[in-house]
Amino acid sequence: MLFIIREQVFGLLGILRRRSAGDDRQTTLPILRHGTDLRSSGGWRSYLVLHDPFSFADGPIMVHSDMVDVLQSCDGVTTIAQLAEAANVEVDGPEMTRLILFLRQMDEMGYFEGASYEQRKLNELEVVGARGTSAICAGATYPGEEEVTELRDALRK
C-alpha cells in the first residue's frame, strides 16, 4: 500500500516538475459527475456532505465547504495551473499537491466522469447480477432457506 501511494506521489511530482520546467502540456481537472449530491451541513462549521455513489463509506463523506469552488472548477476545461493561479498559490506547492491527491481520491470513489466511475459501475452491476437478489438493508427480510440453498449452489458452479 505504501509503495502504491509513494508511486502516485512521485508520478504526481513528475507531472508538476515537467509543467514547471516549461512543458506546455496542461493537465485539466476532471469533470464532476452530473447527479453528484453536494449539500452544506450548515451550522457554525460549514461542510459539504457528499453522497457516496457506491456506498463505500460507513457514513456521510464530509469535506470543508471551501472545496465548493474547487469542485465547481472540475469542468474538464480548467487546468491545474489556472486553479493555482486563481488561488494565488504555486503550481508545485504543497497546497496543489494535496489538492491533486484529494481529487484523485474523489475520482477513485466515482465522483468524476471517466474510466474509474465506469469501472466501478460495471463491478457493481456484476455483483448484483451474480447475487440474483437485491442487497439487504435495514428493515428488509433475509432470504429464506430455499433461496440461500439456490444461491449457494449457483456460487459453487
pLDDT in tens, 17-43: 444 444 433 788 888 887 666 666 666
Of the pLDDT bands very low, low, confident and very high (cuts 50, 70, 90), residue 7 is: very low
Q: Are 84 and 91 in contact (CB under 8 A)?
A: yes
Cα distance between residue 134 and residue 23, in whole Å:
50
Q: How far is CA 6 from CA 1, 2, 3, 98, 101, in A?
A: 9, 6, 5, 14, 12
Alpha helices in 21-114, H assignment, sequence order: 67-73, 80-87, 94-108
Q: What whole-number percentage of the chain has pLDDT above 90?
A: 0
pLDDT value for 23: 43
Pairing of strands 38-40, 47-50: antiparallel
Kindly state the average pLDDT of the residues 90-104.
88
Of the pLDDT bands very low, low, confident and very high (cuts 50, 70, 90), residue 3 is: very low
Q: Considering the entire predicted model, what is its pTM?
A: 0.56
pLDDT value for 12: 47
pLDDT value for 1: 42
Cα distance between residue 55 and residue 63, in whole Å:
16
What angle, rounded to 10 degrees, do the helices at 94-108 and 2-20 form?
130
